């Protein structure tokens, strides 16, 4: 496995179009599942590449950027064990010029959910992902469905800018108690961690309800605990991400929940009701 | 020479990374000079590709878009004679989805000159050029220095987004009386056409002056005529495009001048004075 930190080294280490797994590090089993999907797509002889970069321009809260877990040595170990061929670990200084002035903006899908409460977040995501696509020129890239809105926005970027990269979606990987795997879980206290699986249980329980307002009220009641604070809880059209007034089309039940300073997200795709 | 109008046909017509000349058609000798430079870069066996697309999202005035000259048959003839291998003529419908929501934005270099008077223009330019880059995956692309600000912004986009395309700049090609070649020249009346070379003469005359305020006053007096109206006339730093207060660094003397509804631009790069 090669580990490179400059675009120049990266380009010389790439033998052909790899399959890319963009990450911010602090790798867990969810990331390793993305790696396995990348391997399936690349084939045994193709290159699987992982980028590890905590992207400063997608953080709206400086404290969140500061506190984001950084575990490079163990990340590299996990990548090696998972059969990754190439890891790219650029510095923020090498990714962004002090006078950088070009940003990729998405103006529709990013207006709701995480976009509404994290201004500039998805512009930062789009910009870094497009940079990585240009740096790696991958044939495909793998993203997790846990970040459903991010996945939808990246698909939109690829469509609208004709980016020649196939986007592969991977289902959310969960802890045994249902909590969606996330690098941020490591920042939860023991009692917070014990409380957090209620998020997933609440989404599943609410999914039985047909009427959106009642569905959201059911979910809200089941999520709330003395340990958390709901950032948002919404039922949106699964394609446009606009609020859904009924369930005649596929919808997404999505939430972001704060435990102290730690913000967790999860979602559930609901089929159209006939 | 192959002529294709869909991205799918385009991708199958590309044998390797071409050298691209993006145009809006109404081709003149300036464009054909860009084609010759593309040929030099591609080599005799490389592919030279020309895109012809009047990009609606870079026009700030609907009348200008409507009136922009469209001369496809003669354009194709000129491309054929110039040895172009591939011409791409997409429709606006095939380039832009009705619900498109992703835009490339440049926030620094586009604040002055044409950017100040044409809101959204350079975002439209960046977006379409990046789409073309993704569609063609060229090794290089050629742009004229007549559109100096556009060239600077595209270079910035390539730098900030790590776009793997070499940008080749081509000096402005001029009519025998000094008027910068432009597709818009065809829309000038005979008297306007006879008056327009004063723009170039004014820039050259003013270049002798050291002090910026005096330099601009000299240029303004020499450009103005009863037939025209100056949109802007500025002396800016050649790198940042911010107003220059002296000539200690290389500067750009740039102007946009309306003849009736027709807007002409020209510029002159001035060396730093020691």
Beta strands in B18-130 (DSSP E): 19-23, 48-52, 86-88, 102-106
* Cα A165-A256-A217 angle, rounded to 5 deg: 125
3-state secondary structure of A85: coil
Q: How many Å separate Cα B31 from the centre of its chain? A: 10
Same topology, domains A2-170 and A183-264? Answer is no
CB-CB: which of A100, A105, A161 is closest to B130? A161
On average, the pLDDT of chain B sits at: 97
Residue stretches of the annotated binding site of B for ATP: 24-31, 144-147, 173, 181-184
A chain contacts of residue B105, beta-carbon cutoff 8 Å: 102-105
Q: What b/e readout covers A255-274, taking b as 16+ CB neighbours within 10 angstroms?
A: bbbebeebbbbbbbebeeee
CB–CB contact A130 B161 (8 Å): yes
| CATH number 3.30.1300.10 is the correct assignment for the domain at A183-264 | yes
> How crowded is residue B33: how many other Cβ atoms within 10 Å of its Cβ?
19
Domain extents in chain A: 2-170, 183-264
Does residue B16 carry a pLDDT above 90?
no
Share of chain B above pLDDT 70, in %: 100
Calpha distance A254→A114 (Å, rounded): 9
Does residue B216 carry a pLDDT above 90?
yes
A134 is in an annotated binding site: no
Calpha distance B253→B222 (Å, rounded): 14
Locate the chain B residue with the closest alpha carbon to A132: B162
A chain contacts of residue B163, beta-carbon cutoff 8 Å: 134
Per-residue pLDDT of chain A (274 residues; tens, 9 = 90+): 999 999 999 999 998 899 999 999 999 999 999 999 999 999 999 999 999 999 999 998 889 899 999 999 999 999 999 999 999 999 999 999 999 999 999 999 999 999 998 989 999 999 999 999 999 999 999 999 999 999 999 999 999 999 999 999 999 999 999 999 999 999 999 999 999 999 999 999 999 899 999 999 999 999 999 999 999 999 999 999 999 999 999 999 999 999 999 999 999 999 999 7
Average pLDDT, stretch B71-83?
98
Each residue's pLDDT tens digit, B43-68: 999 999 999 999 999 998 889 999 99
B135 in contact with A, Cβ within 8 Å: yes
CB–CB contact A99 B108 (8 Å): yes
* Catalytic residue numbers of A, as ranges: 31
pLDDT score recorded for residue B242: 96
Does residue B274 carry a pLDDT above 90?
no
Q: Where does the pLDDT of residue B213 fall: very low under 50, low under 70, confident under 90, or very high at 90 and above? A: very high
CB–CB contact B161 A99 (8 Å): no
Q: Which CATH number fits domain B183-268: 3.40.50.1370, 3.30.70.2660, 3.30.1300.10, 3.40.309.10?
A: 3.30.1300.10
Locate the chain B residue with the closest alpha carbon to A161: B131
Does residue B87 carry a pLDDT above 90?
yes
* Catalytic residue numbers of B, as ranges: 31
Each residue's pLDDT tens digit, B171-191: 999 999 999 999 999 999 999
**CATH number of the domain at A2-170, please?**
3.40.50.620
pLDDT score recorded for residue A274: 78
Each residue's pLDDT tens digit, B230-268: 999 999 999 999 999 999 999 999 999 999 999 999 999
């Amino acid at each position: 496995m090669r580990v490179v930190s400059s675009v120049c080294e990266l380009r010389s280490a790439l033998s052909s179009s790899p399959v890319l797994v963009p990450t911010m590090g602090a790798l867990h089993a969810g990331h390793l599942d993305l790696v396995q999907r990348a391997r399936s797509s690349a084939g045994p002889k193709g290159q699987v590449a992982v980028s590890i970069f905590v992207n400063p321009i997608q953080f709206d809260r400086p404290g969140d950027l500061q506190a984001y877990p950084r575990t490079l040595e163990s990340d590299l170990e996990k990548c090696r064990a998972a059969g990754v061929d190439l890891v790219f670990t650029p510095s923020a200084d090498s990714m962004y010029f002090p006078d950088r002035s070009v940003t990729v903006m998405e103006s529709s899908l990013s207006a709701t959910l995480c976009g509404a409460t994290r201004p500039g977040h998805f512009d930062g995501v789009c910009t870094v992902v497009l940079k990585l696509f240009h740096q790696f020129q991958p044939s495909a890239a793998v993203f997790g469905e846990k970040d459903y809105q991010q996945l939808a926005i990246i698909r939109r970027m690829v469509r609208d800018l004709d980016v020649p990269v196939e986007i592969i979606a991977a289902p959310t990987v969960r802890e045994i108690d249902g909590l969606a795997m996330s690098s941020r879980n490591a920042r939860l206290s023991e009692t917070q961690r014990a409380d957090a699986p209620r998020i997933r249980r609440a989404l599943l329980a609410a999914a039985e309800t047909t009427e959106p307002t009642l569905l959201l009220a059911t979910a809200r009641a089941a999520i709330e605990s003395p340990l958390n604070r709901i950032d948002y809880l919404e039922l949106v059209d699964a394609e446009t991400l606009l609020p859904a007034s009924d369930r005649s089309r596929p919808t997404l039940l999505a939430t972001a929940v704060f435990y102290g300073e730690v913000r967790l997200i999860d979602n559930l795709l609901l089929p159209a009701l006939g």
